[in-house]
Amino acid sequence: MCATTAVICEFNPIHPGHRHLISVAKAGGDALLCVMSGHFTERAEPALYDKYVRAKAAILCGADLVVELPYPWSASGAEEFARGGCGIAGALGADSLTFGSESGDLSLLMRAADFRSSADFAEKMRRIETERRGGGSASLYEAVLAGEGIALGGGNDRLGVEYIRAGREAGIREFRPVRRMTGVLSSSEIRRVFRERGADEALGLAAEEAQALFREAGFCPAERYDELLFAHARLYLAGGNDLLRYAVKAARMSTDAAEFTARLPTKKYTAARMRRELLFSLLGAGSTGESPAFTVLLAANERGREILAGARRPGSVPVLVKPADTAPLDERAKRQYALNNRADELWAYLTGQEAGAFMKAGPYIET
C-alpha cells in the first residue's frame, strides 16, 4: 500500500492553483485523500456547487478519494476547521498533510505552531486583548506573533499553523506547505466574478478539467442566503450572545438584505464571524468541542477505494455512503449526522430542490 497524503479543502470552485497543489501532493507517488467541506464553507457561506459536484471535479483534477468535512466544522473558524479536517485525515490513515501557503516556509510555520500552542502565547493574547479593547482577533494574533519575530504571509499561512497543531494531535507527522501560484485568481475572487459578471466568464477561470461539469450543474445564489440570514436576524426573538444581539440590532436598522450585510462587520468581528454566528443559530449548532465521528464518501477512483480498504481498522471514522449506513453509529455520531443533514437541507432549500434531495444522492465512483 502506498503512502497517503491529505489535503483539507473547499474547492469552491476548483481552479488551476488547486490543480497545482494536487500535482505537487502526488508528485512523489503518494495517493491523495481530500477532506472537503460539504455544503457550507469556512467563511460561513453556502458552497457555490453541491458537494458531490465539487468532489467529482476534484477526481477529474487528480484526487484519488474525496470525503466530507461535515458541518459545523466546515463552517467553523480556522482552529476548529483544521481540527475537524485533520481528525478525519488522521483517522483514515493519512501519513502527511499537504496545504497551500503564502510563504511555503515549513520551519517558519512549525515555529509559529509551537508558539501558538504554548502557555506564553495564551498569556500574551490575554494581555493584548485587555490593552487593545475592540481590536480584531486576527490583528491581535499577528501582533503577538510579531513580538516573537514571526511574520506569516497571510490567511493560508495562518491556517497552515492550525493544520500543523491539529495534525500533530491526529497522529500526522509530516507537513508539506506548497507555495501558492501567482497570477491565478483565488476561489473567492472567482466567486466575485461569478456574481458580478456571470457564470460564463467565471467558469473560464476554473480548472479546465472541471469547467464542463460546472457549466451543467446548478449553483447556489448568494443573494438568497443573505435574505435568509437577514430574515433570521430580523425575526430573532431574544437572548443569544453579544454577536447575535448586534446582528439583531443591525437587522432591525436595515430595510433589506444588502444593507444588513453591509452593517454586519464590526471593528472587532469580521463579516465571516458574524455570518457564522447567524448560521449556527439558524441550524441549532453549538460550539463543536469534539472531533467528527463520521464522514461521507463523496468521490473515489480505484486508488481511492484502496485507501478506503486500508482505513477500515479500529480507531478509524465510519465512512458513510447512504443514510442506512447510520444505523450502527453511536449516539454522538448520529447527532452529528443529523446536524450535517440540516445543513444539506438548507443548501437544498437555497437552490430550490425538494427536501431530502441529498439523502438520495450518492458518490461519484470513477471506473
Can you tell me the distance from the alpha carbon of 173 to that of 123, in angstroms, rounded to the nearest whole number? 27
Same domain, 168 and 234: no
| Per-residue tens of pLDDT for the chain, all 367 residues | 579 999 999 999 999 999 999 999 999 999 999 999 999 999 999 999 999 999 999 999 999 999 999 999 999 999 999 999 999 999 999 999 999 999 999 999 999 999 999 999 999 999 998 888 767 788 899 999 999 999 999 999 999 999 999 999 999 999 999 999 988 999 999 999 999 999 999 999 999 999 999 999 999 999 999 999 999 999 987 778 999 999 999 999 999 999 999 999 998 899 999 999 999 999 999 766 789 999 999 999 999 999 999 887 766 899 999 999 999 999 999 999 999 999 999 999 999 999 999 999 999 999 8
Q: Which residue has the cell 476547521?
A: 81
In which domain, by residue range, is 186 found? 4-103+154-219+290-365
Same domain, 95 and 56: yes
The answer as to whether 177 is a domain residue is yes
Count Cβ neighbours within 10 Å for each residue of 330-340 and write b for 16 or more, e otherwise.
eeebeebbebb
Question: Grid coordinates representing 140?
Answer: 491581535
DSSP per-residue string spanning 103-151: S--HHHHHHHHHHHTSHHHHHHHHHHHHHTTT--HHHHHHHHHHTTT--
Task: Specify the CATH number for the domain of residue 315.
Answer: 3.40.50.620
pTM summary value: 0.96
Same domain, 209 and 247: no
Same domain, 70 and 196: yes
pLDDT number for residue 288: 66
One-letter identity of residue 334: K
Let me know: does 185 contact 108? Beta carbons within 8 Å.
Answer: no
The answer as to whether 123 is a domain residue is no
> HSE-up of 269 (CA within 13 Å, CB side)?
19
- How many structural domains is the chain composed of? 2
The answer as to whether 126 is a domain residue is no
pLDDT number for residue 289: 75
The answer as to whether 209 is a domain residue is yes
Question: Grid coordinates representing 54?
Answer: 465539487
Same domain, 337 and 261: no
